[in-house]
Amino acid sequence: MVTDYLSEVYVSMSRNRLRIALTGFSIAWGIFMLIVLLGAGNGLLHGIMKSFGSQATNKVSIYSGWTSISYEGLPQYREISLLPEDVEFLSQYFSDKVSDNLPCIETSTRMSYGQEYVNNSVLGVTTGFIRTIGYKILAGRDINEIDQRERRKVLLITDKTSELLFGDTLRHLGVRVNLNGLSFQVVGYYKSDRSDSSDDVFAPLSTIGTVFKPDGHYSQVKLIVRNLETKEANEKFNEDLQLAMARHRRFDPKDKQALWIWNSYEDYLQTQTIFSGLRMFIWIIGLATLIAGVTGISNIMLITVRERTHEFGIRKALGARPRQIVSLVIIESIAITLLFGYVGMFCGIGLTQLVDYILTMQGDMSATNGNRDMSVFVNPTVDMGIVMAATVVMVVAGVIAGYVPAKRAVSIKPVEALAAQ
């Protein structure tokens, strides 16, 4: 029975190649465009996420400022610098929320090698600072505890800085450069995935503090916080942090100029909102394309059944049951939908994989040449579960599109069906 059905389907499809081609193109195009649109959307989302890098979302940065309000007899325009005792105070006061603190000293310097020089910001940081903010060590090593304890004059730089100083992108480990008249040794190279990152130079906090900022003031302090998973919790922490520092350093708690507080979780939430809106937009466009494909299948199947009404009348006159005729149409519809659905699926997946391969090769070439990968399009692929679900939707739509008009056609009397043109 099944063999007979398949044989008849094959004969029917062979006789109506143009109709099959039109129907199949509608199906394949719907699946293909859905995959391409979703792949393009995913590539854009991945690119945006990469531009933010792997920086932690649970990071609160504090920057020194100047008071704009007089307080308790103290004058206006006082500098509120960040001191080591402030860091210790915050770690103890927020011991249940602060898991680590990362002080930093920043200064502008001229770094030279022979006749070449560059102007950079040098950041004195603690061990683990570089990895925490989302940078990767490409060669050499990170700043360690021995560097801090012995105040070693060591540096981490980028490939771009190396090219400017040394004339190439080779990672010159161990070479010594001049930093404002002092000899420092390059011990590592780092890279950032963030598109907004600069080519800062990193050195031990103790060294930079001793050489360039002997007053012991920090430029900023980053607090790694925990148990803050909502917008409200982060806003409450910001308020508590402002109030605690105001009491500790004696400035008006309402004075937002005294200290600058930036909570990365707020930007993270805003980014997620943008991502959600973009994903929704992509899905709306993709589903609209899929619906257009379903509509195309319905229209073509309706025309197909109408053209075969005369044939159905002959089959009924020869004794065929309505169920057999309807089954024949449904099997033909499933066969066409599956065949061309998979054609569209493979073409769509093949295109996204090809684009992903080209982008990966370009990224590898950029990394080899020492350039930062600035791609806004990363990994434009689609989950296979979504692809299979879309194909199933097309198959179901094809079954319904064939069943409804076929059921209506076989309900016509054989005499009327034979008279149909």
Q: Which of 21-25, 58-62, 73-77, 340-344 has the lowest mean pLDDT?
A: 21-25
Write down the pLDDT at residue 377. 67
- Sequence-distant (≥ 6) Cβ neighbours of residue 22 within 8 angstroms: 300
- Report CA-CA distances (Å) from 330 to 298, 309, 341, 402, 404: 12, 15, 16, 6, 10
Write down the pLDDT at residue 244. 94
User: What is residue 133's three-state secondary structure?
Assistant: coil
CA gap 226, 356 in Å, rounded = 36
The 10s digit of each residue's pLDDT in 236-273 is 999 999 999 999 999 999 999 999 998 887 777 777 77
Segments forming the whole domain that contains residue 291: 2-54+274-419
User: Same domain for 223 and 328?
Assistant: no
Average pLDDT of span 123-151: 89
Write down the pLDDT at residue 360. 75
User: Same domain for 69 and 42?
Assistant: no
Q: Which of 27-41, 61-75, 402-416 has the lowest mean pLDDT?
A: 402-416
User: Same domain for 251 and 105?
Assistant: yes
Single residue among 224, 252, 268 that ends a domain in this structure: 268
CB half-sphere exposure, 328, CA atoms < 13 A: 25
- Looking at per-residue confidence, does 413 or 371 come out higher? 413
User: Same domain for 32 and 101?
Assistant: no
Phi, psi for 340 (deg, rounded to 5): -80, -25
- Taking residue 214's Cβ as centre, other Cβ atoms within 10 Å add up to 8
Single residue among 232, 252, 268 that ends a domain in this structure: 268
Write down the pLDDT at residue 386. 76
Residue of 96, 93, 104, 98 whose CA lies nearest to 127: 104
Q: What is the 3-state secondary structure (H, E, C) of 202-258?
A: EEEHHHHHHHCCCCCCECEEEEEECCCCCHHHHHHHHHHHHHHHHHHHCCCCCCCCC
Can you say how many angstroms the Cα of residue 235 is from the centroid of all Cα atoms in its chain?
Answer: 25
The 10s digit of each residue's pLDDT in 185-244 is 999 998 865 544 567 899 999 999 999 888 889 999 999 888 887 888 888 999 999 999
CA gap 46, 248 in Å, rounded = 43
CB half-sphere exposure, 370, CA atoms < 13 A: 18
Q: pLDDT grade, residue 41 (50/70/90)?
A: confident
CA gap 81, 125 in Å, rounded = 17
Percent of the chain with pLDDT over 90: 27
Structure-token pair, residue 172:
């010159």
The 10s digit of each residue's pLDDT in 281-321 is 877 877 777 777 777 777 777 777 777 777 777 777 777 77
Structure-token pair, residue 51:
């531009």
Is residue 99's pLDDT more than 80?
A: yes
Is residue 370's pLDDT more than 60?
A: no
Is residue 410's pLDDT more than 90?
A: no
User: Same domain for 83 and 224?
Assistant: yes
Concatenated DSSP letters of 288-334: HHHHHHHHHHHHHHHHHHHHTHHHHHHHHHTT--HHHHHHHHHHHHH
β-sheet bridge partners, residue 116: 113
Write down the pLDDT at residue 397. 77
Torsion of Cα atoms, 267 then 272 then 275 then 281, to 10°? -120
Taking all residues of the chain, what is their mean pLDDT, rounded to a whole number?
81
Residue of 135, 323, 104, 69 whose CA lies nearest to 217: 104
Write down the pLDDT at residue 177. 94
User: Same domain for 317 and 214?
Assistant: no
- Report CA-CA distances (Å) from 2 to 7, 130, 324, 334, 336: 9, 67, 11, 14, 16
User: Same domain for 30 and 178?
Assistant: no
User: Same domain for 262 and 290?
Assistant: no
Contact, 387 vs 177, CB < 8 A? no
Write down the pLDDT at residue 25. 81
Single residue among 235, 268, 301 that ends a domain in this structure: 268
Q: Domains in the chain: how many in total?
A: 2
User: Same domain for 314 and 400?
Assistant: yes
User: Same domain for 307 and 262?
Assistant: no
User: Same domain for 173 and 113?
Assistant: yes
Q: pLDDT grade, residue 418 (50/70/90)?
A: low
Residue with tokens 């064939």, as numbered in its chain: 402
Write down the pLDDT at residue 404. 77
Write down the pLDDT at residue 363. 65
- Looking at per-residue confidence, does 374 or 4 come out higher? 4
The 10s digit of each residue's pLDDT in 346-368 is 888 888 888 888 877 776 665 55
Residue of 145, 175, 172 whose CA lies nearest to 158: 172
Can you say how many angstroms the Cα of residue 144 is from the centroid of all Cα atoms in its chain?
Answer: 32
User: Same domain for 109 and 30?
Assistant: no
